[in-house]
Amino acid sequence: MRKKISLLSLTLVTIGMLAACSGNSASTEEKSEKKSLAFVSNFPSDTLDPQLNYTTVRAGIAETLVKVNEQLQIEPWLSKKWKTEDGGTTWVFEIREGIGFQNGKALNAEAVKHSLERTIKESEAMKSALKIKEMKANGQILTITTKEPLATLPSELVHPNTAIIDVDAPDIKNKPVGTGPFKVASFKPDTAIKVKKYKEYWGGEPKLDEVMLTFNDDENARTSALQSGEADIVYRPAIESLNTLKQDSSIVVDIQPSLRNQMLFYNSRKEAFKDKNVRKAFDVLLNPKDVVDTALAGQGSAAKGPFLESLDFSNDQKTKTYGTSEAQKYLEKAGYTLKDGKTIKNGKQLSFKLVTYPYRPELPLMSQMLQSEAKKIGVKIDIQQVENMDEYMTTKDDWGMVTYSLVTAPRGDAGYFFNALYMEGGAFNVGHFHEPALTSIIAELNKTVDQKQRNKLARQAGEIVEKETLHSSIVHPNNFVAYRDNVKNWVTTKSEYYVITKDLDVK
């Protein structure tokens, strides 16, 4: 018996000893000496190479020539101003003076040129987006010539992959040298990055001494990290934990609408969806408010169009009447009749496959809601869930509708959305819609530099999309961040590009 007890005790003592060797005490001590902050996000980072990952900009290490503000308008950052005199083929950027890299090297047009050259060499995506033919540097003036007129060049230069770094610095993957308020102290791929303040930052001395950014894909684990005090700020805590977090007086929950839109794409290769009245029927079948309340647990807003209403290029959307009877009216216009509980045309019931994917759990829920509403008006929807949605949409044509989630204006410009979805050969033109009037407006948009004119064209394009119901915008899900009440000056940006700033502070 004694032997038994000693064996059990040994096991428990060993586990206890392992547990006791906690590393928390050291970090607490460090915290009291320095102004530090711990941030846990779901943004993965296997490299700090800014040309391949967003973390360098998010962590305040590097900056881009142009940035996007909270109204999603582009504004100067490392570049003081820019202009084009030939409709978007030649762009002249004036680089701010008096800026230094974190290793003391001065930032001039030559350094920016080398950095952008590296960008297009390392990133196929940026090479495609920037379309750079030639660059010339002269003092603080950088002249970029593009292969074709590119009215969106300043907006493309907002992309974190165009962040300016010192390309001559060693070990860009682990320790890039930028111009931001924080420099890399240590980096463990896919785990954490520690940054410390760069006192000589051109925008003024940062308030924090250091920030620890940890990556964790699991939302429950992130929530626990905040509750345990391991984290001061967590990005996207578990949605079901929001009410609990709100009840904790030491935690602040910040909720902001995102640029993301949960949408329905229609397949024009399917006979039924060639008819715009059929598309309109599904456009009004599902009430976005119900989707917000049910599938998003209240964390979102009804979408009236692809873009947030507050954006200048968002076209005026009319308030729609939703419901089965409204949907039925459109189906009748399309020649369908409801008979014996089935919506029929030429003796055939309206039925199709709806494809969805589990990565965003609200999408399968939204699909089920649509299926249930459709059943009420005699339409049969078969739901199929796939892992790789992009692949399915582009390689198969057996689907009638898909639920999809897309960031519609990632850099504060409508060009991406219309080119990707509705231009011939666009990577996201999965519905194979070809509207000549829309195509010509997008072509015009691509040539137009003046922002006011661009917004006007984008609104016109949006009106055609709306009139023809080429897709249905359902909801904008919210972004939410939770932080401890000792955190000061936190801003949840719509773009999600800027996270750690010089103004971020702790009490």
Partner 1 sequence: MELIGKRIIELLIFLVILSFLSFVLMKLAPGDPVKQMLRVDDVAVSEEQMNNLRTELGFNEPVYIQYVKWLKRFFQFDLGSSYMTKEPVIDELVEKFPSTLRLTVASLVVMLLIAVPLGTLSALYPNKWIDYLSRSISLIGASIPSFWLGLLFIQLFSVRLQWLPSMGTGTAAHLVLPSLTLGFAMSAVYMRMIRASLLEGLKQDFVRSARARGISESRIFIFHAFRYSLTPILTILGTSLGSLLGGTVIIEVLFAYPGIGKLVIDAIMNRDYPVIQGYILWMGLFVVLINSLVDLSYKYVNPQLYVKGGDKT
| Residue appearing with tokens 């978007």 | 88
Question: In degrees to the nearest 10, what's the CA dihedral of 483, 484, 485, 487?
Answer: -70
Q: At 182, phi and psi to the nearest 5? A: -130, 145
Tell which one of 75, 190, 205, 450 touches partner 1 (CB under 8 A).
Answer: 190
Instruction: State whether residue 115 is helix, strand or coil.
Output: helix
- Bridge-based pairing of strands 90-95 and 79-84 is antiparallel
Measured from the CB atom, the residue of 466 and 496 that comes closer to partner 1 is: 496
Distance from C-alpha of 319 to C-alpha of 304, rounded to nearest angstrom: 8
Question: Is residue 495 at the binding interface for partner 1, with CB under 8 A as the rule?
Answer: no
Tell which one of 64, 115, 216, 261 touches partner 1 (CB under 8 A).
Answer: 216
- Residues numbered 234-253 forming contacts with partner 1, rule: CB under 8 A: none
Question: Is residue 189 at the binding interface for partner 1, with CB under 8 A as the rule?
Answer: yes
Question: Is residue 227 at the binding interface for partner 1, with CB under 8 A as the rule?
Answer: yes
> What is the closest distance, in whole angstroms, from the C-beta atom of residue 157 to partner 1 in the complex?
13
> What is the closest distance, in whole angstroms, from the C-beta atom of residue 242 to partner 1 in the complex?
17
How many CB atoms sit inside 10 A of residue 100's CB?
15
Question: Is residue 217 at the binding interface for partner 1, with CB under 8 A as the rule?
Answer: yes
Question: Is residue 214 at the binding interface for partner 1, with CB under 8 A as the rule?
Answer: yes
Question: Is residue 129 at the binding interface for partner 1, with CB under 8 A as the rule?
Answer: yes
Q: CA triplet 413, 416, 419: central angle to 5 degrees?
A: 130
> What is the closest distance, in whole angstroms, from the C-beta atom of residue 344 to partner 1 in the complex?
35
Question: Is residue 254 at the binding interface for partner 1, with CB under 8 A as the rule?
Answer: no
Question: Is residue 170 at the binding interface for partner 1, with CB under 8 A as the rule?
Answer: no
- Residues numbered 48-87 forming contacts with partner 1, rule: CB under 8 A: 49, 52
- Bridge-based pairing of strands 36-41 and 233-235 is parallel
> What is the closest distance, in whole angstroms, from the C-beta atom of residue 364 to partner 1 in the complex?
18
Chain centroid, CA 463 distance in Å: 24
Tell which one of 70, 76, 125, 143 touches partner 1 (CB under 8 A).
Answer: 125
Measured from the CB atom, the residue of 42 and 489 that comes closer to partner 1 is: 42
Distance from C-alpha of 193 to C-alpha of 191, rounded to nearest angstrom: 7
Of the ranges 6-14, 278-286, 319-327, 348-356, which one interacts with partner 1 (CB under 8 A)? 6-14
- How far CA 311 is from CA of 59, 259, 411, 442, in Å, comes to 26, 10, 12, 18
Measured from the CB atom, the residue of 206 and 412 that comes closer to partner 1 is: 412
Tell me if 337 sits within 8 A of 345, measured CB to CB: yes
- Amino acid identity, position 352: F
Tell which one of 106, 141, 221, 297 touches partner 1 (CB under 8 A).
Answer: 221
State the binding string over 413-432 for partner 1 (x if CB under 8 A, else -).
--xx--xx--x-xxxx----
Question: Is residue 171 at the binding interface for partner 1, with CB under 8 A as the rule?
Answer: no
How many alpha carbons fall within 13 Å on the CB side of residue 371?
17
| Residue appearing with tokens 């009749």 | 337
Measuring CA to CA, which residue among 433, 501, 504, 430 is closest to residue 464? 433
Of the ranges 209-217, 244-252, 311-319, 377-385, which one interacts with partner 1 (CB under 8 A)? 209-217
Burial class (CB in 10 A: 0-12, 13-18, 19+), 258: buried
How many CB atoms sit inside 10 A of residue 434's CB?
12
Tell me if 421 sits within 8 A of 428, measured CB to CB: yes
**Which two tokens mark 51?**
């040309």
Of the ranges 9-17, 64-72, 141-149, 465-473, which one interacts with partner 1 (CB under 8 A)? 9-17
State the binding string over 17-46 for partner 1 (x if CB under 8 A, else -).
-xxxxxxx---------------x---x-x
> What is the closest distance, in whole angstroms, from the C-beta atom of residue 394 to partner 1 in the complex?
8
Distance from C-alpha of 357 to C-alpha of 256, rounded to nearest angstrom: 24
Size of the site for partner 1 (CB under 8 A): 63
Of the ranges 68-76, 197-205, 361-369, 406-414, which one interacts with partner 1 (CB under 8 A)? 406-414
28's CB contacts (< 8 A; 6+ apart) are none
Question: Is residue 452 at the binding interface for partner 1, with CB under 8 A as the rule?
Answer: no
Tell which one of 118, 159, 197, 454 touches partner 1 (CB under 8 A).
Answer: 159
H/E element, 141: strand 141-146
Beta-strand ranges (E) seen in 64-181 are 66-68, 74-76, 79-84, 90-95, 132-138, 141-146
Measured from the CB atom, the residue of 122 and 505 that comes closer to partner 1 is: 122
Q: Residues in the site for partner 1, rule: CB under 8 A?
A: 4, 7-8, 10-11, 14-15, 18-24, 40, 44, 46-47, 49, 52, 122, 124-126, 128-129, 159, 173, 188-192, 214-218, 220-221, 224-225, 227-230, 388, 390-392, 395, 406-407, 410, 415-416, 419-420, 423, 425-428
